[in-house]
Amino acid sequence: PTSRILALWPFCHLRREDSRHNRRKHRVRRHKLARPWRGHDPGGLQYQSIEYIVTKIKSIGMNVIRLTFAIEMVDQIYANNGQDITIQRAFTQALGQANGTRILNQVLAKNPQFTASTTRLQVFDAVAAELGRQQIYVHLDNHISKGMWCCSGTDGNTWWGDTYFNTANWVRGLSYMAGLKERWSLGFLLSEFGFAMDVNTWRGTYANCLASYVRSEKAGWTMWVLAGSYYVREGIQDYDEGWGLLTRDWREWRSEGYVDGLFRGMVRNSVAG
């Protein structure tokens, strides 16, 4: 699948990185990032198609997406005799039988290329393929070991040997996902910043100083977060992400004032740099 993705666009790539430690220094120069898809299954697909979400990203000029995964996903593949599990099973395990089935049916309605037997990595492949088709980079990122909300000092995922941070499984998981694409050597960027996507926060000192800094340094940067909602976060299903660039249904910009008043200019300045 990776070779087919790469054939779509000569500059498209998948890149594996562990975001929790000193690998934060390996970044893409002059590339923007929001993080729409995290955990076992890329989110928002019950609301919009992959093509719609990627087109929305493209419309604002962003050119790289951090596609995150949990080591637990790879652990489950090994526990399942090397076979990935289906999205049907993933949804019912995460959301329960009733809600999992409901969300699955919504995902299939918006993304008819999938079936109940589609696997999680096949969804990752489809996301990467569409990003490649629209000339957007993919930053493949191990964000956490156990698939859960991140991050705190007490979530069991903080460091090697922590409750869920089995070092051997971590190395195995990185190696497995690195098989999607060899690691690329990249430059530096500012990572990552964000704030509430409301009417006034973006007008404050923090947001405007960041915009001024990346413009003066002609720097690449990443932003938290594109996602308008999550399948489940901290036990709450269909969690609304107040810091998300997109609305809960992943359809519109949550703060049109910020996008038009500051964000588009940051993108243009970084690309031009």
* Structure confidence at residue 53 (pLDDT): 95
* Structure confidence at residue 38 (pLDDT): 55
> How many whole angstroms separate alpha carbon 178 and alpha carbon 163?
24
- The rounded mean pLDDT for the chain is 83
Residue 112 or 139, more confident: 112
pLDDT at 25 over 90: no
Q: Domain limits of the chain? A: 2-87+120-272
Q: pLDDT > 90: what percent of the chain?
A: 54
* Structure confidence at residue 4 (pLDDT): 39
pLDDT (tens digit, 9 = 90+) per residue, 205-258? 999 998 998 888 777 788 889 999 999 998 999 999 999 999 999 999 999 999
* Structure confidence at residue 77 (pLDDT): 96
272 falls in which pLDDT band (50, 70, 90)?
confident
State if pTM tops 0.75. yes
Q: What's the 3-state SS for the chain?
A: CHHHHHHHCCCCCEEEEECCCHHHHCCCCCCCEEEEECCCCCCCCCCCCHHHHHHHHHHCCCCEEEEEEEHHHHHHHHHCCCCCCEHHHHHHHHHCHHHHHHHHHHHHHHCCCCCCCCEHHHHHHHHHHHHHHCCCEEEEEEEECCCCCCCCCCCCCCCCCCCCCCHHHHHHHHHHHHCCCCCCCCCCEEEEECCCCCCCHHHCHHHHHHHHHHHHHCCEEEECCCCCEEEEECCEEEEECCCCCECCCCCCECCHHHHHHHHHHHHHHHHHC
* Structure confidence at residue 126 (pLDDT): 94
* Structure confidence at residue 20 (pLDDT): 52
pLDDT at 200 over 60: yes
Is residue 143 within 8 A of residue 68, CB to CB? The reply is: yes
Half-sphere exposure of 88 (CA within 13 A, CB side): 7
**Best-predicted range by mean pLDDT (38-52, 60-74, 217-231, 244-258):** 244-258
